[in-house]
Structure 1
Amino acid sequence: MTVQTERPPARPTEDTQRADGGPHPRGARRRPAAFAPYLLLLPAVVATLLLLGWPLVKNGMLSFQNLNMRQLIQHLTEWNGVDNYTEVLGSSDFWRVTGRSLLFTATNVVLIMVLGTLTGLLLARLGRRMRVTLLIALVLAWAMPVIAATTVYQWLFAQRYGVVNWLLDRAGFHSMADYNWTGDQFSTFFVITVLIVWQSIPFVAINLYAATTTIPKELYEAAALDGAGAWQGFTSVTLPFLRPFLYATTFLEVIWVFKAFAQVFAINQGGPDRLTEILPVYAYIEGIGNQHFGMGSAIALLTIVILLAMTSLHLRIVLKQGEDEL
């Protein structure tokens, strides 16, 4: 005869649900943890909406209004639909400035990426003392405020007392002694390009140098054993590691150069004869300078649309490259 004993009840654990139907203990602890990332992002999201979202919405509303000085003084709101956009898109000046802005951005970004990459690779090859010295110089150039740097370049390229003209004159180019660098379109853009490239190289160079420090040295040793020279080592080892960085940096530089306003406006206010205006300067002059505030808002929004189209095209190329590598 077998004696059947009663099994003692199982002790409740965290993995079992409470008998009274209450919340799961472990799930109760997981719920606050699941909301933690969103709570951490909340201040940044709120700040972005207040500092960027509301001005963008306000600018969009102004772009559908006929807002000149009279309406501004009398606090009148005159909605005119898409008339501002129709006038801007039908203007040959807008398309001329747009083409100039795209060419200006492409030229600057190519120069910035090439020179910044070469400088970053140079940092990786220099000794400790020279590297630290060059890094300090790059950081100082990058940290200088835009208007301060622009003022320095105005002095360097000044017509009568500029350092550049003095050096060219001493070098034997006497016709450049009193050359007016802001007197024509090409020379003005040359000064602006030198300024923007000089300000942007430190960002590219320092970040690229930081990226080179993550490349395993064993890969270079293996490439050298296979008979690879300096160029083959760069194309087979260095470039594949730096390619994601180069894509991301190019993306950031396109945005930064395309919306450059302070350098272009401070050098010559889009002159001479408005031949060096790019889209941000064009929007400011039409909106603030000519007091066509609705028109300026429409140009500003169209500038954002063009920039979004450029960045989306760049992201598509980057994603396609990533899929091809996989």
Structure 2
Amino acid sequence: MSVQTREAPPRGKVSVRPAGSGGSAPGGGRGTGKGTLPYLLLLPALGLTAVLLGWPLVTNGMLSFQNLNMTQLIQHVTEWNGFANYTDTLTSDTFWRVTLRSVIFTVVNVVVIIVVGTLVGLLLARLGPKVRLLLSVGLVLAWAMPPIAGTTVYQWLFAQRFGVVNWVLAKIGFTSMADYNWTGSQLSTFFVVSLLIVWTSVPFVAINLYAATTTISRELYEAAALDGAGAWQSFKSVTFPFLKPFLMVATFLEVIWIFKAFPQVFAINEGGPDRLTETLPVYAFVEGVGNQHYGAGAAISVLTILILLALMSYYLRLVLRQEAEDDEAGESTTDRKKGERA
């Protein structure tokens, strides 16, 4: 019985199977499929975004170049007027007063929200489990309350005749506040609106910052204590560097949300008294829907978006620069660890 043997390939030579003969080579069909799969998964979300956000923006931009009021709507007439709506808006002193008011309103509220949210987040990190859970539930409920529902509650709290706030102030000795009209002046109206916005916005910052504190190693605080660092020094050298990226992102989001806040400002007093508490979103609504100058309202809304983008451009560069620095620091740390292992 004869046995056939096969010669082994010479040493040092490796037989390579062609890429199309079964198996997958780097850069082959399977790798290409993996590379395109994330983009295919994103297509439904991108399509919905284009339909729900892109189309209204395009329609609003087209309306801003039209002279559109009730007459044109009833007659189904499209009357194009070029840049007349933008020219009238940009040459109006009212528009620039409202813009300045909106910027100041946004800055004040964002600063208060970030400061109070940071303090509450640090408080959550120091509380016991049961008290932390109770406070977290309260924060989530305040955050989840619909804006109109929260506005209704604040209207009841600060009502002139039957408001809880005036009743409490009168009971503790401030008798002149018994019938105080909180929506009768610009500053008092803004105070109520700001209190409402801060109340509904602080939970987002606080919960996110508390989550960030859970990523900080206790060994860092112990090392700082051994070096003689106090509470404030430990916060500056240990806590704040970890919280900085979260604070930047939270500030970025809060600026957007506060600048475009509409239901809280409008529902409290409809931009009154005497339109002194109108911000840009409310101003666009009053001019467009209230006064039935829909083209002018659309132009104001487009300018609002452009002003917000201009305000956020510098801050966005800071966020991107911070992310780049964090990535470089992470890569250098990884390279150093690889060098130590080698």
Structure 1 residues 236 and 66: CA distance shift in structure 2, 3 A: same
Query: Counterpart of 2:81 in 1: which secondary structure?
Result: coil
Tell me what 2:38 maps to: 37
Matching of residue 16 in structure 1 with residue 21 in structure 2? no
Report the alpha carbon displacement of residue 323 of structure 1 after superposing the two structures with TM.
6.6
TM-score by length of 1: 0.93
Contact residue 16 and residue 24 of structure 1 kept, 8 A: no
Is the CA contact (8 Å cut-off) linking 2:262 and 2:281 kept in structure 1?
A: yes
> Could you say which residue in structure 1 is the equivalent of 2:332?
none
What is the CA deviation profile of residues 181-235 of structure 1, one whole-angstrom value per residue up to 9, with x for unaligned ones?
0001010000000000000010000010000000011100000000000000000
Instruction: Give 1:296's aligned residue.
Output: 297
Give the secondary-structure state (helix, strand or coil) at the position aligned to 2:304: helix
Any residues of structure 2 matched to 1:1-326 within 5 Å, and which? 16-18=18-20, 27-320=28-321
Q: Deviations over 1:280-320 (max 9, x none)?
A: 00000000000000000000000000111111111123345
Residue aligned with 1:158, SS: coil
- Give the number of equivalent residue pairs: 319
Q: Which amino acid aligns with 1:48?
A: T
Deviations 1:124-168 (A, max 9, x none): 000111101100110111111110000000000000000000000
CA contact 2:186–2:272 (8 Å) conserved in 1:
yes
- Offset from partner CA, 1:235-273 (integer Å, 9 cap, x none): 000000000000000000000000000000000000000
1:118 maps to amino acid: L
Cα distance 1:34–1:267, how it changes in 2: closer, same or farther (>3 A)?
A: same
Provide the rounded CA distance (Å) in 2 between the counterparts of 1:97 and 1:18: 67
Contact in 1 for aligned 2:245/2:322 (Cα 8 Å): no
What amino acid sits opposite 1:90 in the alignment? T
Q: Distance in 2 between matches of 1:8 and 1:128?
A: 68
Unaligned runs of 5+ in 1: none
Q: Provide the C-alpha distance between the structure 1 equivalents of 2:14 and 2:218, rounded to a whole number of angstroms.
A: 57
Say what the alpha-carbon RMSD is for the aligned residues: 2.2
Measured in 2, the distance between the counterparts of 1:283 and 1:291 equals 11
* Structure 2 CA distance for aligned equivalents of residues 55 and 261 of structure 1: 18
Q: Percent identity?
A: 68
Q: Aligned in 2, Cα 1:320/1:74: closer, same or farther, shift over 3 Å?
A: same
* Change in 2 beyond 3 A, CA 1:319/1:38: closer
Partners in 2 of 1:258 and 1:50 — Cα distance?
24
**Structure 2: distance between partners of 1:142 and 1:39:** 34
Report how far residue 6 of structure 1 moved: 9.0
TM-score normalized by structure 2?
0.89
CA contact (8 A) 2:66 2:78 kept: yes
> Which residue type is aligned with residue 99 of structure 2?
T
Q: Structure 2 counterpart of 1:317, which letter?
A: L
